[in-house]
A and B are shown apart, each in its own frame.
Chain A
């Protein structure tokens, strides 16, 4: 369950930033998770709750968003995928550049971005 490790990283960033602003309570965070990050969102939410317990982030609300997926081919054609990816593995194993037909790789879509923290 790598969601636990990710949650630990997120909370550690949140607490460092909250401390920098001398905040006493974290009210909300906005977190964008790439569709290819292979994160189970329910597990991530559970882990965020567990890891933030007994910290100033306990009880905060978490707004989960998504991120665009971009692929790139050896010819450096970049292509954004607009439709939702239902089957990530099929998507990853059949990646082709729509322009030249070459085998493409992932340019973005695996990131986990801590976008915003609201604290008092």
Chain B
């Protein structure tokens, strides 16, 4: 009989790998942004638009998806270095998967790395990737109670983009309520209402992103 006393935090390996990723980003002067949000909230569309609008900086992308290469293929059309990650049964990216993706991505020379997480408002919260910023995209069509129903992700995020405000009336969503809910959960959260499709508010986000990179 073996009584093996361990007292080991099983999440430590993720935290250690996240720290390793962060060091790699810093050594290469790359500002890494983890973009989270539900399925269909507009994460891929946001990165596409950022690629179009941020012409003066060099961008790389890690596109996480459960099984497909659909998002990675969409983003490759922007002629940027893109690595797709398939998580299989997992509902979130973790530092280990990002670590492997980084082996395939030429980090040197990049200014920004956008990491598109798997569509999910719950699980990515608990898995640090090593990113400098965590951004949540939430769309009005998910219901204007989505933010108050998923407080954890807004509590740990640095910015929240409330997307599809151009169709808020059609889906009977109150954008002001969503902004207030987000601010109530996390007063320090940068909350920006946007329409990624109509390119409304995204310039404010880009300004904030560049500012955050400058402060890093």
Residues of A within 8 A of B (CB): 1-2, 4-6, 9-10, 13, 17-18, 21, 23, 37-38, 89, 92-93, 110-120
B10 touches A114 (CB 8 A): yes
Shortest Cβ distance from A120 into B: residue = B1
Kindly state the separation between the CA atoms of A38 and B123 in the bound complex, as whole angstroms: 9
**Interface residue stretch chosen among B65-73, B89-97, B130-138:** B89-97
Shortest Cβ distance from B12 into A: residue = A111
Min distance, Cβ B68 to any Cβ of chain A, angstroms: 20
Q: List 9 A-B residue pairs with CB atoms under 8 Å apart, sorted by A's residue number.
A: A1-B91, A2-B92, A5-B123, A37-B11, A114-B10, A115-B6, A116-B3, A116-B5, A117-B6
- Across-interface contacts of B2 in A (CB, < 8 A): 18, 21, 23, 117-120
A10-B10, A89-B152, A117-B2 as given contacts; A1 in contact with B185, CB under 8 Å: no
Is B8 part of the contact surface with A, judged by Cβ < 8 Å? yes
A1-B91, A2-B92, A17-B6 as given contacts; A92 in contact with B151, CB under 8 Å: yes
Q: Which of A37, A93, A116 contacts B126 (CB 8 A)?
A: A37
Shortest Cβ distance from B124 into A: residue = A2
Kindly state the separation between the CA atoms of A118 and B89 in the bound complex, as whole angstroms: 29
Kindly state the separation between the CA atoms of A92 and B185 in the bound complex, as whole angstroms: 9
Kindly state the separation between the CA atoms of A64 and B91 in the bound complex, as whole angstroms: 24
- Across-interface contacts of B90 in A (CB, < 8 A): 4-5
Kindly state the separation between the CA atoms of A6 and B9 in the bound complex, as whole angstroms: 11
Classify chain B: how many residues form its interface, as a range.
20 to 34
Shortest Cβ distance from B148 into A: residue = A89
- Across-interface contacts of A9 in B (CB, < 8 A): 10-11, 13-14
For the complex of A and B, 3 pairs with smallest distance between CB atoms: A2-B123, A117-B4, A89-B151
- Across-interface contacts of A114 in B (CB, < 8 A): 6-10
Min distance, Cβ A35 to any Cβ of chain B, angstroms: 13
B6 touches A1 (CB 8 A): no
- Across-interface contacts of B5 in A (CB, < 8 A): 115-116
Kindly state the separation between the CA atoms of A71 and B127 in the bound complex, as whole angstroms: 20
Shortest Cβ distance from A10 into B: residue = B10
B11 touches A111 (CB 8 A): yes
Min distance, Cβ B14 to any Cβ of chain A, angstroms: 8
B4 touches A2 (CB 8 A): no
Shortest Cβ distance from B1 into A: residue = A120
Is B122 part of the contact surface with A, judged by Cβ < 8 Å? yes
Kindly state the separation between the CA atoms of A120 and B8 in the bound complex, as whole angstroms: 20
